[in-house]
Amino acid sequence: AGFKQAVYLNLEAVPEHILDADTSPFGNISLFKRNQIMFHNQIMVRAYEEWGREKGPFAAGYFTGKAAVRVDGPIYPFPLEVTRFYLPPGHAKRAIFDDPMVLHYMNYAPTAIADKYALLGAFHDSSYSSAVADPNTESDIILYDDVAKSKMRKFANLTSKPPRSSPVLPGHSSLRDLVLSSGSQGVLNYFKQKVMIPKGSSSARRFQRAGILLRIKEARKIQRRARKTCRLDARGEMGVR
């Protein structure tokens, strides 16, 4: 009781074979990374360090989950970035949950990665900036300029400025650079080396025993049940067969 913000942690999907972007990840991926915030023993920590040495950063994207906030005033939340809301000191009490959680299907297929970052283009290195977005580029992914932030602070009735934004996650900027410089072949190599863990491999078994990888089949079961009652296409979307 009394919490202003609830945070639901995300578990990042780990593909065990190469999927096509048109194939549903929900019915084909059941292995996930346990959120690193919930590592609670030395076995998990050592496995996390081993992952880093072998494959690079454990979380390819953000691992902070998603937040929900109360909007019952008199202080209203300010959207800080895509996963959090800002509340002034004294109003920021929050709870963090690992169940329920968010299943995060980031980088589920090499073609999906290539398509995503080709679409985003040469975006900025900061998540928002005082710079004016160039209408001739994809840089309009900047969240707010200074004018917009000022208006939102006034609307939210904040008594102090929220902290400055941090840079775009290194995983996003590195994939942007990889797609722009190396194309689909570079993405495929990255996927095999950094993202995928082959099904039944010694690495998969080792990290599962350590508890940093989890087998979660609920999403697959939900989609299979839906296929029996609805007309779903290969991606799990409504369609006529």
- The 10 Å Cβ neighbour count of residue 63 is 19
pLDDT of residue 127: 56
Collapsed DSSP state (helix, strand, coil) of residue 118: helix
pLDDT of residue 148: 45
Which residues face 158 on adjacent strands? none
- Residue 38's nearest CA partner among 68, 63, 66 is 63
- How are beta strands 85-86 and 94-104 bridged, if at all? unpaired
pLDDT digits (tens, 9 = 90+) for 149-192: 454 445 445 444 555 555 666 677 888 888 888 888 999 999 99
pLDDT digits (tens, 9 = 90+) for 137-151: 333 333 334 444 454
pLDDT of residue 30: 94
Mean pLDDT of residues grouped by 10 in the chain (241 residues)? 78 93 88 91 95 90 82 74 75 73 89 89 65 35 42 48 58 85 90 93 95 90 75 55 42
Q: Where do we find the tokens 């491999």? A: 201
pLDDT of residue 144: 37
Rounded Cα distance, 221 and 103, in Å:
14
Collapsed DSSP state (helix, strand, coil) of residue 11: strand
Handedness of CA 144, 146, 150, 151 (dihedral sign): negative
pLDDT of residue 168: 66
pLDDT of residue 240: 43
